[in-house]
Amino acid sequence: MVHFLHPGLLCRTLILPDAGTDAQGCCVVQEEASPYSLVTICLNTLVANLEKLCSKRPDGTLCLPEHWSFPQELADRFLGMLASEGKLTDKTASIFQGDQMKLKLANIQKAKLSPAAFLKAFCHHKLIELDATAVHTDLPIQDIISGLCSNIWIQKNLQCLLLDSTGISDDSRKLFFGQLTGLRVLSVFNVGFRNEDLANVSRLPRLESLDISNTLVTNISALRACKNQLKSLTMHHLKCLTMTKPHILAVLRELRCLLHLDISHHSQLNSDLAFHLLQQKDILPNLVSLDVSGGNGITDRDVELFIRQRPAMHFVGLLATDAGASDFFTTKQGLQVAGGANLSQIAEALSRYRNRACFMKEALYRLFTETFSMQITMPAILKLVTVGMRNHPLDLPVQFTASACALNLTRQGLARGMPVRLLSDLTDLLFKALRNFPHYQQLQKNCLLSLTNSRILVDVPFDRFDAARFVVKWLCNHGNPKMQTMAVSITSILALQLSPKQTAQLKDELFVAIKELLAIVKQKITENLDDATLLFTLKALWNLTDDCPAICKHFIKNEGLAIFIQVLETFSESAIQSKVLGLLNNVAEVKELSSEMVTTDVVKHLSSLLHSKEMEISFLAAGLIAHLTSVQEPWASDDLQRHALLRDLHATIQNWPSSNCSMTALVTYRSFKAFFPLLGSFSQPEVQLWALWAMHHVCSKNPSKYCRMLVEEGGLPFVCDIQEHTAAEPQARQMAAAILNDFRMHFTSYQRAPLQQLSLT
Ligand SMILES: *[C@@H]1O[C@H](CO)[C@@H](O)[C@H](O)[C@H]1NC(C)=O
Ligand SMILES: *[C@@H]1O[C@H](CO)[C@@H](O)[C@H](O)[C@H]1NC(C)=O
Ligand SMILES: *[C@@H]1O[C@H](CO)[C@@H](O)[C@H](O)[C@H]1NC(C)=O
Ligand SMILES: *[C@@H]1O[C@H](CO)[C@@H](O)[C@H](O)[C@H]1NC(C)=O
Ligand SMILES: *[C@@H]1O[C@H](CO)[C@@H](O)[C@H](O)[C@H]1NC(C)=O
Ligand SMILES: *[C@@H]1O[C@H](CO)[C@@H](O)[C@H](O)[C@H]1NC(C)=O
């Protein structure tokens, strides 16, 4: 119940990135440290409470209140938020029926919708864009297109359609893209899209930008049909191509309007298409952006030559190639390079390739080597790492490499400059990775290491229950002493951050942990080694036994008392003594355990520690004596000894300074309940005296916390009782009056109410 807080150990000054050298970092800090916009907050609230706010139709779908209507920008954002939270289903999509919501740029990513619901909710809006990336297979492409085409306006005016990673129904394979005559931008990345579909799409009259990455296309000849208009062609990892290089290049050569070309490839596949492209003279003269990442045999010289012939080039992708390191690339103004040669190139790669796991992994790997020598906080880079983790939750290489990067980017002082919200996101993502890869030790280690960061552990919001469960498991299962020290230190801090209910839920795990912790203490006694691990272990035990009788019983059952007596006999530092006494206080508060606690050894040590010159030690020893002597049964055979201790306690308290004095560490209590039996103990005024001294001490230091606690826990009647009781010691009555005085000063406005209630009871 009691513990000490040592103030002043944390430095909370924020070291901000410098705007001159890291403009993006500055932006990220500002963005992450700013409150969310009012619109975002409102929309989030709506998303969270949609069911409560809407009425239900007979079929169970939701219906907005009658008089509500959303302007288009808000409706678009609201839809996007529903989708990104995974809440867009037939039931919720129905609020977009009718004309209360006006959609224009619709985002239904990853939604689980039936074709009928899609048709009813979205296809009557005047849509300019539809992002249906990775929608559930319940809604195949054929149904999306036929839904869209059911509206003549959409057929003519839909400009942008993103269908990445969507499914195709096998029933009728035909995809009628041809009817969407307004399309300018189409993306079918990772879709079972074939030559005949390409033939159809290539004839769309206004098509400008096409992404056919990782599709089943084997022959791109059909693109000739749009050679006079196609400006952007992305064919990353087009693995099924069966044409010869000269044939492919011949087709590309005809695409004279092309500004952007992406022929990047998984690096393991040794594609040399890019190599051949770079050898061509006069091909694609207007190109401003070329991505050849992952290509084989690419040299600095070839790329440099290619770019020199096209001075307007502003982007080149060179990740996982042999090119990018020459001075030309690091000095050329206005040229963005996604690559691995320097940090700017890596950042560009992390940003461009956020949806491509193969390149994400590669860029993270390069980043990891860069972080070895990193001396400054890089919030923009850390943010990109979290984006990568979020986009590829089930990709082990990405998760693992990202966790290693995150660790180095936040190590020691570096985390202090990172915005709390960003660190909170990161911690959530690390725990998600743990859940997805429970058997991958190195990943678990990285996560544990990131938790040893005091900034994360103290300042950052995350699911502490989950974390505690994980850490305790680590503590029990792993022999590596260094990792064990970390697990122990984290446990000591997390233990007090759990609510009693959560501690109860974790009981089984914590029982094992207590045993482990006691084994560590025993080991240190044998080695006569009072190192950091010993201190952390004692702290953890102190915090774990706080307000938790089940854990205290388990401590006694596992011979904790004998081990702790040995600690007192082996080490005499007050830092160790205070932790031992703190824990024993917790145990002594459990009345059933007091008979186990009263032993010759305990009494011997308490009598001596009571006279310690350190005020904290004396105070804790006195508390323990007060608890143990307040019950008589354990002393049955030796009541004289009890009386001797009580006299000693009384004399010691007389020697203490006034109870409003300061100790070097701040005494704190989570509850006053354990004091109530002591306060009622009129036959042992020494015990009353100690309890009153302790309560007055904390009330005078922190009246707002403890005066409230006094009322809320029903402690006030006990104090009033002592003040009014003629049989109470005068000193006790004075102290009770002092507490009541603190209390009145604090609650001047409504002092009468609680005090009146008291006199009735
Ligand atoms: C696309 O294919 C469909 C059916 O296969 C056809 O009706 C339509 O005319 C084609 N469109 C173009 C532009 O070729
Ligand atoms: C690709 O398609 C074109 C036109 O349809 C055809 O002439 C050519 O033979 C095809 N090439 C391959 C390798 O299938
Ligand atoms: C890295 O290279 C880019 C050009 O690709 C250059 O603009 C940038 O200054 C370089 N960054 C560092 C940190 O050297
Ligand atoms: C980054 O992490 C690696 C492995 O975890 C470590 O060897 C390296 O020293 C770390 N770098 C820094 C600067 O901490
Ligand atoms: C118990 O945990 C808290 C964190 O809530 C920490 O501040 C305190 O130092 C810990 N107490 C001990 C005795 O370790
Ligand atoms: C403690 O209380 C006394 C009066 O009871 C007062 O004179 C003294 O200044 C107080 N000391 C502190 C440190 O507040």
Model confidence at 752: pLDDT above 70 = no
Could you tell me the sign of the dihedral formed by the alpha carbons of 740, 743, 745, 751, in that order?
negative
Q: For residue 336, what are the β-bridge partners?
A: 315
The verdict on the CB of residue 660 being under 6 Å from ligand 6 is yes
Task: Tell me which long-range contacts 734-738 makes (C-beta under 8 A, separation of at least 24).
Answer: 735/659, 735/689, 735/692, 735/693, 735/696, 736/692, 738/659, 738/696
User: Which residues have a Cβ under 8 Å from the Cβ of 233 and sit 6 or more positions away?
Assistant: 209, 210, 212, 223, 252, 255, 258, 260, 261, 262
Ligand 3: residues with CB < 6 A are 329-330, 337, 342-345
The verdict on pTM exceeding 0.85 is no
* Distance between first and last Cα of the chain: 28
Q: DSSP for 229-294, please give it.
A: T--EEE-TT-TT--S-HHHHHHHHHH-TT--EEE----GGG---HHHHHHH-SS-STT--EEE-TT
Going from the C-alpha of 663 to that of each of 171, 223, 657, the distances in angstroms are 79, 81, 10
Atom of ligand 3 nearest to the CA of 337: 5
Tens digits of per-residue pLDDT, 155-197? 999 999 999 999 998 877 777 899 999 999 999 999 999 999 9
Tens digits of per-residue pLDDT, 539-586? 889 888 888 888 899 999 999 999 999 999 999 999 999 999 999 999
Ligand 1: residues with CB < 6 A are 174, 176, 178, 200, 203
- Alpha carbon nearest to ligand 6 atom 12, residue: 660
Tens digits of per-residue pLDDT, 425-447? 999 999 899 889 988 888 888 88
Say what the alpha-carbon torsion angle 546, 549, 554, 560 is, to the nearest 10 degrees. Answer: 50
Alpha carbon 78 to chain centroid, angstroms? 24
pLDDT of residue 169: 86
Closest CA to 224 of 246, 201, 240, 244: 201
pLDDT of residue 467: 86
Model confidence at 663: pLDDT above 70 = yes
Model confidence at 496: pLDDT above 70 = no
Atom of ligand 6 nearest to the CA of 661: 13
State the distance from the centre of ligand 3 to the C-alpha of 343, rounded, in angstroms: 7
Going from the C-alpha of 648 to that of each of 556, 618, 629, the distances in angstroms are 27, 12, 12
607 token code pair = 């009598």
State the distance from the centre of ligand 4 to the C-alpha of 598, rounded, in angstroms: 51
Task: Provide the pLDDT confidence category of residue 10 given band limits of 50, 70 and 90.
Answer: very low
3-class secondary structure, 107 = strand
153 token code pair = 């306006």
Ligand nearest to the CA of 198: 1
Model confidence at 452: pLDDT above 50 = yes
The verdict on the CB of residue 658 being under 6 Å from ligand 6 is yes
350-378 per-residue burial string, b: 16 or more CB within 10 A, e: under 16: bbbbbbbbbbbbbbbbbbbebbeebeebb
Tens digits of per-residue pLDDT, 59-90? 999 999 999 999 999 999 999 999 999 999 99
State the distance from the centre of ligand 6 to the C-alpha of 4, rounded, in angstroms: 22
**Are the C-beta atoms of residues 258 and 231 closer than 8 Å to each other?**
yes
Task: Provide the pLDDT confidence category of residue 6 given band limits of 50, 70 and 90.
Answer: very low
- Looking at the chain, the whole-number percentage of residues with pLDDT higher than 70 is 95
637 token code pair = 């055979």
State the distance from the centre of ligand 3 to the C-alpha of 37, rounded, in angstroms: 34
601 token code pair = 């050894």
The verdict on the CB of residue 221 being under 6 Å from ligand 2 is yes
More confident residue, 662 or 360: 360
State the distance from the centre of ligand 1 to the C-alpha of 273, rounded, in angstroms: 31
- Alpha carbon nearest to ligand 5 atom 4, residue: 493
Closest CA to 675 of 603, 747, 561, 585: 585
- Alpha carbon nearest to ligand 5 atom 10, residue: 493
The whole-angstrom separation of Cα 154 and Cα 182 is 8
Model confidence at 705: pLDDT above 60 = yes
The verdict on the CB of residue 497 being under 6 Å from ligand 5 is yes
Model confidence at 48: pLDDT above 70 = yes
Task: Provide the pLDDT confidence category of residue 119 given band limits of 50, 70 and 90.
Answer: very high
Please state which of the ranges 298-307, 397-406, 634-643 shows the lowest mean pLDDT.
634-643
pLDDT of residue 16: 62
Q: For residue 131, what are the β-bridge partners?
A: 107, 162
State the distance from the centre of ligand 1 to the C-alpha of 178, rounded, in angstroms: 5
Q: Whole-number mean pLDDT of the chain?
A: 89
Report the half-sphere exposure of 223 (CA within 13 A, side-chain side): 28
Q: Tell me the Ramachandran region of residue 154: left when phi exceeds 0, alpha when psi lies from -120 to 50, beta otherwise.
A: alpha
- Alpha carbon nearest to ligand 1 atom 11, residue: 178
Ligand 1 pocket, mutate which of 200, 204, 224 (most atoms under 8 A from CB): 200
Model confidence at 13: pLDDT above 50 = no
> What is the chain's alpha carbon radius of gyration, rounded to the nearest angstrom?
35
Task: Provide the pLDDT confidence category of residue 503 given band limits of 50, 70 and 90.
Answer: confident
Atom of ligand 3 nearest to the CA of 332: 4
Model confidence at 11: pLDDT above 50 = no
More confident residue, 170 or 362: 362
Ligand 2 pocket, mutate which of 194, 202, 203, 221 (most atoms under 8 A from CB): 221
- Alpha carbon nearest to ligand 2 atom 5, residue: 221
Ligand 5 pocket, mutate which of 1, 2, 3, 451 (most atoms under 8 A from CB): 3
